[in-house]
Structure 1
Amino acid sequence: MERELARRLVEVPGVVAVALGGSRARGEHAPGSDVDLGLYYRPPLDTATLRRLADEFSDGPAALTEPGGWGPWVDGGGWLRIGGTAVDWIYRDVDRVARSCQDARDGRWDWHFQVGHPLGFPGTTYAGELFHGVLLADPTGELGALRPDGFPPALRAAVVQRLDEAEFLLGGAAKADPRGDRAYVAACVFRVVLLCAHALHAVAGRWVLNEKGAIAATDRLERVPHDFAARAQALFGAEPQPLARARELLAETTALVSEDGPQRQR
């Protein structure tokens, strides 16, 4: 179904290529997982033709947006059900994807606001999506030519460098903690933990595409502080002294991702 749909999608004016993404592309899906199709386009995108195609394939009425309908970085798309399976169409401006891939190669790791991403949306996410995606239709070969062949060394260095920000955040949280500003402390701890997760994944050469599941995914890494995921999750429950525990995680992560860090700490 996916390849036939992709073949039809690239006939829509503006659509350059189609790729399978998400858990199905990574081979981590469950039987009921959504099918995520990235629609890589170059403006103007003919959304009227897309809607007609959606009506042809979908089990019922499908909701499609214009580009930008879901925000500045998730962009837009549509929700369909095809043969009882949820199928998401997700727009990606191919020129922005090209810039994302170049940023990844150059080690530019910037964060952007996007609803649904409380940590923020790294501009290199598009490159990671393309790396993990399965190309279903790429008639001009443009998307395949953009695709990263691994996790760029410059990006690895940039992600690890952001542990300095985590250290700074803990310093600010330590000042707010005696004043009872629990919301600010919790926000700092959240960002510290996710920055550690990003650094650990970067050293392993793996892209983090979403905050959801990022902590649990550390358990599948070869180099990770002892019980990292469990200790990180405990910080957001009834864990006493969360700042002290967060500082321990940061210190162990910093030591591990350095050149002299241990190879394995499970």
Structure 2
Amino acid sequence: MKKIMMAVFCVMAMVLTAHADNSWERVQKAGKLMIGLDDAFAPMGYRLEDGTLVGFDVDAAEALGERMGIAIEWHPTAWDGVIHSLNSGKFDCIWNGMTITPTRAEQVNFTEPYIMDGQVVVVRFNETRFASYEDLGGMVVGLQKGSSALNALQALPEAPRDVREYADNPKALLDLESGRLDAVIIDNVVGRDAISKRIGRYKVLPGFITKEPFGVAFRKAEHSLRNRVQAELDAMVADGTLGLISEKWFGENIVDKASW
């Protein structure tokens, strides 16, 4: 009996070893972390005219790689198939402003949120009438046609007097600056990117109308790699590294969870 039990134990140990999660060891041995992204998603990751890849996620990942002693290798891919590409082994993770949703969480292993995205309200910099998005009742509000901002309208406690739809956010922001709008409902990272490029023109009101947390996605079984990246992200928040990158791209620290 003892011999049989020992044999069963050995077989189980071999099976467990064969399926052990060596994802961090694999990346460490390769000396690089391969990251999938849509390289046209400003300000998280996009191309300059000369083809240089830039953005918040790009800077954050490159800083993390330097701290971990590994190179970062970027793999642009079509967004509608990015999870399939991850799970088929084309790269190690997705780091590109990916919203954490229940459906996606069934397919990938997310980190904790590193940025809270969602719909926010942008007003003129010197605006004093509004304390938060709850004060938009009876106002003239602009938003991008077909965007998630339309859904956010339903979450407002009081309806605006007039809602004007624009082909893109820059046109809405120009009308806000000129006084033709009282406020613009806009995606958080997009709005803060616009603010960082025109300091002193706009500001974001406190509070999210809707919330969409961003996380880094890994394959479901690859916990050791996910946990190693999570630990380094936590350290980058704690020592201010990620906050400095946020200030570069958004004009302020939006990685501080206390503000979410």
Q: Normalization by structure 2: what TM-score? A: 0.24
Q: Which has the higher contact order (CA 8 A, sep 6+)?
A: 2
Per residue, is there more strand in 1 or in 2? 2
Q: Normalization by structure 1: what TM-score? A: 0.23
